[in-house]
Amino acid sequence: MKNKIPTYRKQKGYSQEKLATMLGVSRQTVISIEKGKYNPSLPLALIIAEIFETKVEELFFLEDSDYKKI
């Protein structure tokens, strides 16, 4: 799963550390989510969307190759 978190985070002027603190997770978790190595739980994804004042489906999306994994 891909995401636009780095773009939204930079627009808000948040560091990875600040976002991690806001979410109650480690900076490494934020890095892993941004790189697409870790998919957040639904509650965490909803909180991220709320922080960035957008919808979950605006932040997270599947690529064609992801559909083959389902």
Q: Which domain holds residue 57?
A: 2-69
Mean pLDDT, the chain, integer? 93
- Global pTM reads 0.87
Q: What is the pLDDT of residues 21-52, one digit of tens each?
A: 999 999 999 999 999 999 999 999 999 999 99
Q: How many domains does the chain have?
A: 1
CATH number of the domain encompassing residue 26? 1.10.260.40
Q: How far apart are CA 40 and CA 29, in angstroms?
A: 9
In sequence order, the 6+-apart residues with CB closer than 8 A to the CB of 36 are 1, 2, 3
